[in-house]
Structure formats: C-alpha cells, structure tokens
Amino acid sequence: MSGYQDVIVAGFGGQGVMLIGTLLAYAAMEDGLNVTYMPVYGPEMRGGTANCTVVVSKDDIGSPIIHLPKSLIAMNRPSLDKFQPRVQDGGVVVVNSSLVDMALADTARVQAVGVPANEIADSLGNTKMANMVAIGAYAQLTGVVPLDVLKASLKKVISPNYAKMIPANEQAIQAGADAVRA
C-alpha cells in the first residue's frame, strides 16, 4: 500500500456495510496504521440506506470526511448511483454485481470490479455474508490491509455470542479475495 487509502462503503441498511467499515478500521489499527471511521448516524439511518467512510494512512489523518474518495464499495444500486461519480479517476470501485447491473459501472473512468457477493455468500451458506465477500475483494484489490489481519479482526466486530460464525466469515473474506485475484 502506498501509505494512504480512503473508501466509502455503502448499501442498504441490513447489508452490514457499517460492520465491514468497522472491520476494516480495526484491521488497519491492528496493522499499526492510523485510521478514521466516520458513519452516518441518527434518523438519517432510518431512510434505509447506510454508509461510512474509512481513511487509512501511515501519517496522522486530517479529514475523516472524504468528498472525492479514492475507492468505493457499492453494495446496491443507489450507492453506486450516488457515490461512483465522486470516485477519483482510476479509483477502485467494488460493485456487488449480484444486485447491480455491471453496465452501470463507469469502466472508462474508474477501475470497477464486479463481485457477485450475494451469490458467493449464498454458496457458502449465508447471503448475509455478502458484506464479508465484498471487503475481502476490496482488501485483495487495494492491499490496504493484509487478508489475515482482516480475518483476525473479525473477533473485534462479531460479539462473543456469535463467535462460532467467525470461521464462515473468514471463508467469505477469502472467497471475495479469490474472486478478484487476477
């Protein structure tokens, strides 16, 4: 990694976008990097969409709010519509191609990568892990944090009561990474 990366993670409420944002932030911290995580909050959340911004850097971080992000994880169509135009030229856009038509990706301008996150998660036994597939793909594409650190950070975001879900989520992260490995 070149020392700095920022990403907007966006999707429907319930797709677990805040969870993978937090996971990425924990992993960055565990990896010895500086990191900020900025969620949307309050009644805004009830509108049914959710997003968060994660900034990772070797230096101390100025703005936790990014208008023109270097990358985007779009878990649904409204998220791609809203944030893709703001992604910097050549930026990485992970698109959940299970729910979004890849024809909508602006491949001329950004590096858009379709990941059928829901289908991959389904094949692993739980659609709810689509978010993990997406973050696995994102980490693989950008190298922002090593996959093993990401997996090791799962215990920070999954409550001890659900600890038995961790291996499956590790698998989903790996499957996401495998899906985009060149």
Partner 1 sequence: MKNGKAAFTLPGVLADIPTHYCPGCQHGVAQRLVAECLDELALSEKAICIGSIGCSVFIYNYLKVDSVEAPHGRAPAVATGVKRARPEAAVFTYQGDGDLASIGMAETMHCANRGERVTIVFVNNTVYGMTGGQMAPTTMVGQRTTTCPGGRCADNEGEPIKMTEIIASLGGTAYAARVAVDSVKHVRAAKKAVRRAFEAPLNNLGLGFVEILATCPTNWKMTPVQANKRISEELIPYFPLGTYKNLMGEQAAEGTEVEG
Partner 2 sequence: MSTPGERVLIKGNEAICRGAVDAGCQCFFGYPITPQNDIPEYMSKVMPNLGRVFVQAESEVAAANMLLGAAACGIRAMTSSSSPGISLKQEAISYMGGTELPAVIVNISRGGPGLGDIGPSQGDYYQAVKGGGHGDYRQFVLAPGTVQEAYDLIGKAFDLAFAYRNPVMLLGDAIIGQMMEPVTLGSNKETESNSPDLGWNLTGKGQRDPRLLKSLHLTDGALAGHNLRLRDKYASMEKDVLFENFLVDDAELIVVAFGSIGRIAKSTIRKMRASGKKVGLHRPITLFPFPSRELDKLAAAGKRFLTIEHNLGQMVDDVRLAVRKHADSDFYGQMPGNLPTPEDFEQPILAALGVNS
Could you say whether residue 161 binds partner 1 (CB under 8 A)? no
Rounded to whole angstroms, the Cα distance separating 23 from 28 reads 9
Could you say whether residue 42 binds partner 2 (CB under 8 A)? yes
Q: Residue from 7, 17, 20, 35 that binds partner 2 (CB under 8 A)?
A: 35
Q: Find the binding residues for partner 1 in span 4-63 (CB under 8 A).
A: 42-43, 46
Which residue's entry shows tokens 């971080």? 61
The bridge status of strand 49-57 relative to strand 111-115 is: unpaired
Residues whose CB is less than 8 angstroms from the CB of residue 47 and which lie 6 or more positions away in sequence, other chains included: none
Between the alpha carbon of residue 128 and those of residues 45, 62, 68, 76, 173, the distances in Å are 19, 34, 29, 14, 12
**32-40, 103-111, 113-121, 143-151 -> range binding partner 2 (CB under 8 A):** 32-40
Rounded to whole angstroms, the Cα distance separating 49 from 51 reads 7
Interface pattern 59-98 for partner 2 (x via CB under 8 A) = --xxxxxxxx------------------------------
- Number of helices and strands in the chain (H, E): 7, 6
Q: Could you tell me the smallest distance in angstroms from the CB atom of residue 115 to partner 2? A: 25
Interface pattern 150-179 for partner 2 (x via CB under 8 A) = ------x-----------------------
Q: Could you tell me the smallest distance in angstroms from the CB atom of residue 42 to partner 1? A: 8
Residues whose CB is less than 8 angstroms from the CB of residue 168 and which lie 6 or more positions away in sequence, other chains included: 124, 125, 126, 129
Which residues make up the interface to partner 2 (CB under 8 A)?
22, 25-26, 29, 34-39, 41-44, 61-68, 156
